Chains A and B, each alone.
Chain A
Amino acid sequence: DTEVTQTPKHLVMGMTNKKSLKCEQHMGHRAMYWYKQKAKKPPELMFVYSYEKLSINESVPSRFSPECPNSSLLNLHLHALQPEDSALYLCASSQDGPSGARGYTFGSGTRLTVV
């Protein structure tokens, strides 16, 4: 299995809703990431998990809450989001971090719309 699987593919939520994005990989990668990508912009790093521990939080608002239940799973819990949070949320994994020769493997993303 050489894929990163993200669910759901699309999500529409109200500003008072609570929802979760899920990400799964079975490649044995030790690092997992959440990126946010707005239209026609590059992916922006949100969180880095290394060996299931949060190692980087890029000053992301607390309405985004990451969780890494085990080495294969990564969740992003969403609460009280704003319309400007609408974006493509990408999960990625890597064996060797940003210095690895095999790069990051990205999932196909969750397209989030906040209404």
Chain B
Amino acid sequence: GQQVMQIPQYQHVQEGEDFTTYCNSSTTLSNIQWYKQRPGGHPVFLIQLVKSGEVKKQKRLTFQFGEAKKNSSLHITATQTTDVGTYFCAGNFGNEKLTFGTGTRLTIIP
């Protein structure tokens, strides 16, 4: 089936360190979206990537879409305690479905 995997599953970082999560699909994606879910909360949309090789930035967050449109990454520079949560990529395979990745749970050590 169409699945989207993320690594790592968990990441613990010291406050101020950088963080990266990687998202991989076995088949080409039409587009990919990224969401953040705080503990006890609901997913909140961050960004969408559509073009091969696309790079987008939001303040300390950098999102990339691979050349083959099968993988993506989210990089956070100089993490803060407010970055705590689970980061999900969500892939669209060209149909009406948005398939969520397995997620990476980020915890920050103050």
Q: Which A residues have a C-beta under 8 Å from some C-beta of B?
A: 31, 40-45, 48, 50, 55-56, 90, 92, 97-109
Q: Which residues in B have their C-beta under 8 angstroms from that of A97?
A: 96
- Residues of chain B within 8 A (CB-CB) of A55 are 96
Interchain nearest-CB distance for A83 vs B (Å): 22
Interchain CB contact under 8 A, A107 and B97: no
Tell me the interface secondary structure of chain B in the complex.
Answer: strand
Interface residues on B, range: 20 to 34
B residues with CB within 8 A of A: 30-31, 33, 35, 41-48, 50, 88, 90, 92, 95-103, 105
Report the Cα distance A48→B96, complex, angstroms.
8
With A and B bound together, what is the CA distance between A10 and B80 in angstroms?
31
Q: How many whole Å from B85's CB to the nearest CB in chain A?
A: 13
Query: Do A43 and B96 contact each other (CB < 8 Å), given the known contacts A99-B31, A103-B48, A104-B45?
Result: no
Q: List 28 A-B contacts (CB under 8 A).
A: A41-B103, A42-B100, A42-B101, A42-B103, A44-B100, A45-B98, A48-B96, A48-B97, A92-B43, A97-B96, A98-B90, A98-B92, A98-B95, A98-B96, A98-B97, A99-B31, A99-B92, A100-B48, A103-B35, A103-B45, A103-B47, A103-B48, A104-B33, A104-B35, A104-B43, A104-B45, A104-B98, A106-B44
Bound-complex Cα distance A108 to B42 (A):
5
Chain B residue, CB-CB nearest to A103: B45
Q: Is the pair B33, A42 in contact by a Cβ cutoff of 8 Å? A: no
Which B residues lie within 8 Å of A48 (CB)? 96-97
